[in-house]
Chains A and B, each alone.
Chain A
Amino acid sequence: MADTKAKPGQPKQGLLLDIRNLRIEATVYPPGEPPKNIVLVHDVSLTLEKGKVLGLIGESGAGKSTIGLSSMGYGRGGVRITGGEVLLNGRDILKGGKEGFRKLRGREVCYVAQSAAAAFNPAHRLMDQVVEATLLHGTATRAEAEKRAVALFKKLSLPNPETIGERFPHQVSGGQLQRVMTAMALCSEPDLIVFDEPTTALDVTTQIDVLAAIKEAIRDTHVAALYITHDLAVVAQVSDEIMVLRDGKKVEHGETRRIIEAPRTDYTKALVSVRSIEHEEKELTPTALLSVRGATAAYGGGVVKVLQNVSVDVRPGQTLAVVGESGSGKSTLARVVTGLLPPISGSITFAGRTLAPRLAARSKDDLRELQMIYQMADVAMNPRQPVGTIIGRPLEFYFGMRGRERDHRVAELLDEIEMGKGFMDRYPAELSGGQKQRVCIARALAAKPKLIICDEVTSALDPLVANGILKLLLNLQQHEKVAYLFITHDLATVKSIADSIAVMYRGEVVRYGAKSKVLTPPFDAYTDLLLSSVPEMEIGWLEKAIKGRRIESGGH
């Protein structure tokens, strides 16, 4: 190990990681059936040169994290490596046993998790956690390791690099924690780092900073990396090569430029062009369906103001996209409109009548005509009710439908969401993420609403599935003339679905108008930052974007 390790700071050459015919299996326990074996990774092979970055890309369930963790001999949740070889620095680590794994983890291979906020122990100071692996493997004294950590904090442009290590995880923001975690991985000077969706949980404006920091750190330390993500535009910025995976099988592998500019397989082509729904903006009608005027709302008895004097309109049969980062107040706006959080001041008119501020004071028709769909489809449904009951519930509640009449309508609705009545007796647990969200859409539609509030409905879904949901929503809007208040942090989604846009920042609407107007320069500083932070499928975008920025992001 130590003798094959080149000195840090010098480029290394030669083969580092050589995975041959890797097969990974797991035992699943479906309810009411005998346990069975499933294969998660089907004989995948890959190689990684020292100091290079390989991007592993695919949807959830593609096996990319599983492959990444196999380089540390780790199987998450009972996952077993049942075949193949994992050669690291020339030796097969799978033959080393538990003791062998322990020696290489945190020393030769380090891991950066998706959510650093969860991956740091809340009970210990950051510095203790950052140097823990280095001290454990005895590669440096405490003083040396801490010096190294501070240098890394500086390199990753963390604020107060000398003292940030004394803080506890909850005292540091999510974007900063992600960088501290990268420093933690680099601290023991490993040969390989596995980055597992390191920027997915961050806001776009924070993601770009973290991405740039990671890229620079990889370049300067000459560490090799497996970069796992579902976002092709992100991986295109940092990796030398890309491997596309689907259902545990290799789909395509090649140099980054080749993959994004000339993809060979249909699946990769679909991934590359995933963000190109063309949506023609509708002309704004003079009358509004929903009018929010001067809404101010606060939590904690008026102490924490989260919405300040917000005024927006949703026009009948059209979509208003509300876009902003976490903490911008966009979900609070939804809570105010639905009556869950009565505003301190301001008014809401809906379909020509004034809505009561409190949910309990609203009429049944108010409730019916204003429906909502959520980000987490699986927690928004009762897991013990079949799809037919879930969709049938609003039919009974609002229209008093029973028996055959109700079932007939449920079947119609299932047709509308392109699922068919065969799903009527299925339980939510038997559905995929996209199907669950479709059922939620059907449930909202069943009430024959005039307006549906969509709160980050595609954020938890894989890009291709999210695309399908967006297309469905657009189709339904055409047929049913329903209006959407579409809340999202994703600007690509906004472009695909909105007729008008409200950009929110710290509880205020900073830019508002027709889509074409909002997305045409000149921009205000915040909208400019937001737009320029959305990763584009283009090599060298990251450097260009960082250079062109006018204001710093909040660093959340």
Chain B
Amino acid sequence: MGSPVLRLVAQRIALGILLLLAVSVLIFAGTQILPGDVAQAILGQSATPESLANLREQLGLNDPAYVRYFRWLGGVVTGDLGTAMSSGQDIATSIKGRLWNTLFLAFWAAIVAIPLAVILGLIAVRYRNGWVDKLISGLALASASFPEFFIGYVLVYFFAVKWQIFPGISTVYDSMPFGERMQAIALPATALTLVVLAHMMRMTRAAILNVMQSAYVETAELKGLSAFNVIRKHAFPNAIAPIISVVMLNLAYLIVGVVVVEVIFVYPGMGQYLVDHVTKRDVPVVQAVGLVFAAVYISLNIIADIGAIVANPRLRHPK
């Protein structure tokens, strides 16, 4: 590892932290613009001007916005995300379990989707413009074009209702055995896989096809390599940067964009948690979840950037 790689990586991480700070400002500002404040929300209809004033004093709501922002940020940095208004529970504790569930689901969806997408992409390139390619592209596009709730309900109808192979409701709890847990997430994981597959597969195909025009691919063909080895050994390593970046984008989607799928399958993850508390207008929870989603999104994109930097031999092995 040469110094340019370290420098670039450090730069990306610093930029990511800066970006996350900017997002936290936006989230905080956004919740400030909403009519009413936390005191009003807590007291609801029983609010009198005196009780409101008292509660505001108690919660520190009379301080200027920037003081409250830094108080909130200080809490976030030390792991204190505040308490939920609706339930009075500590947000950090609730999120921990939920986030773990979401990551568990995303992890297994990714384990299936990423290799499948890359391999399908390689096959599509190998038989490009033939019927295999068209079939793969067509099916992948179709699965991406259906809305995820539709795919979810179709899966539930066949696998849960008609054939009764998998449960239609994916309730999981902490002490659940691994096997049962896997069975519970089978359908939501499949739905997620189908949603993200096409994008990754088509990007893999496009990135490799782009590289296939290069002179070094011709060199490989003229060495007598088989078509598949030309793609695997010579085209794929040079297409890896755009592939990593699309994979990371989709991973981010698996974690951040699961809201609909989690709601359909009643899966106790972050998405469902968010939707529940949006309906209850529970601002601290929405803020916290928003920040966690932003952090996940930004860090995955940083990983993609770092992956692209490390995959570049010019940066890894400077002159």
State how many residues of chain B have any CB contact under 8 Å with chain A. Answer: 19
Contact call B223/A136, Cβ cutoff below 8 A: yes
List the B residue with the shortest CB-CB distance to A167. Answer: B317
Chain A residues within an 8 Å CB radius of B44: none
**Within the complex, which residue of B216, B223, B234, B238 is in contact with A106, where a contact is CB–CB below 8 Å?**
B223
Contact digits for A109-133, partner B, Cβ 8 Å, 1 yes 0 no? 0110101001111111000010011
User: If the complex has contacts A105-B221, A118-B214, A119-B216, are A171 and B237 also in contact, measured as CB distance less than 8 A?
Assistant: no
Contact call A122/B224, Cβ cutoff below 8 A: no
Interface residue B215 (Cβ < 8 Å from any Cβ of A): yes
User: If the complex has contacts A106-B224, A123-B313, are A171 and B215 also in contact, measured as CB distance less than 8 A?
Assistant: no
Compute how far the CA of A105 lies from the CA of B225 in the bound complex, rounded to whole angstroms. 8
Contact call B313/A170, Cβ cutoff below 8 A: yes
List the A residue with the shortest CB-CB distance to B318. Answer: A171
Contact call A122/B238, Cβ cutoff below 8 A: yes
Which B residues are closer than 8 A to A by beta carbons? Answer: 214-216, 218-226, 234, 237-238, 313-314, 317, 319
User: If the complex has contacts A118-B216, A170-B319, are A123 and B237 also in contact, measured as CB distance less than 8 A?
Assistant: yes
Interface residue A269 (Cβ < 8 Å from any Cβ of B): no
Chain B residues within an 8 Å CB radius of A110: 222-223
Interface residue A137 (Cβ < 8 Å from any Cβ of B): yes
Q: Nearest chain A CB to B225's CB is how many angstroms away?
A: 6
Chain B residues within an 8 Å CB radius of A167: 317
Contact call B215/A133, Cβ cutoff below 8 A: no
Q: Nearest chain B CB to A98's CB is how many angstroms away?
A: 9
Contact call B224/A107, Cβ cutoff below 8 A: yes
How many A-B residue pairs lie within 8 Å, measured between CB atoms?
72
Contact call A136/B317, Cβ cutoff below 8 A: no
Q: What secondary structure prevails in chain B residues at the interface with A?
A: helix
Contact call A137/B215, Cβ cutoff below 8 A: no
Chain A residues within an 8 Å CB radius of B223: 105-106, 110, 132-133, 136
Chain A residues within an 8 Å CB radius of B216: 118-122
List the B residue with the shortest CB-CB distance to A115. Answer: B215
User: If the complex has contacts A118-B216, A170-B313, A171-B319, are A74 and B237 also in contact, measured as CB distance less than 8 A?
Assistant: no
Q: Nearest chain A CB to B229's CB is how many angstroms away?
A: 8
Interface residue A374 (Cβ < 8 Å from any Cβ of B): no
Compute how far the CA of A72 lies from the CA of B224 in the bound complex, rounded to whole angstroms. 10
Chain B residues within an 8 Å CB radius of A119: 215-216, 218-219
Contact call A118/B215, Cβ cutoff below 8 A: yes
Q: Nearest chain B CB to A146's CB is how many angstroms away?
A: 16
Q: Nearest chain B CB to A174's CB is how many angstroms away?
A: 13
Contact call B219/A113, Cβ cutoff below 8 A: yes
User: If the complex has contacts A111-B219, A115-B215, A171-B317, are A121 and B234 also in contact, measured as CB distance less than 8 A?
Assistant: yes
Within 8 A of B (CB), among A161-189: 167-168, 170-171
Interface residue A373 (Cβ < 8 Å from any Cβ of B): no
Q: Nearest chain A CB to B217's CB is how many angstroms away?
A: 8
